[in-house]
Amino acid sequence: MNPLEVVELMCPWCSEPISLTVDVTEPEQEYSEDCTVCCSPITVRVAIGAQGEPEVDVEREGG
């Protein structure tokens, strides 16, 4: 299994599609990342599902 997976999501600020590369070797993660389109801060939460696939949730940072 590749330790890094690319996940396609929508930015919670500008609603544009974005790609995030997540580390699937960590069972749970939370970090901040700026949208590559609008540069707004996003809180990213990653959990690894039962089959090893990343489950990613994003929300606006600070509100």
Give the number of other CB atoms < 10 A from CB of residue 62.
Answer: 8
Strands (E), the chain: 4-10, 17-23, 28-34, 41-48, 54-60
**pTM given for the model:** 0.88
pLDDT per residue as tens digits for the range 3-50? 999 999 999 999 999 999 999 999 899 999 999 999 999 999 999 998
In tens, the pLDDT along 5-18 reads: 999 999 999 999 99
- 26-58 burial, b at 16+ Cβ within 10 Å, e below that, comes to eeebeeeeebeeeeeebebebebeeeeebebeb
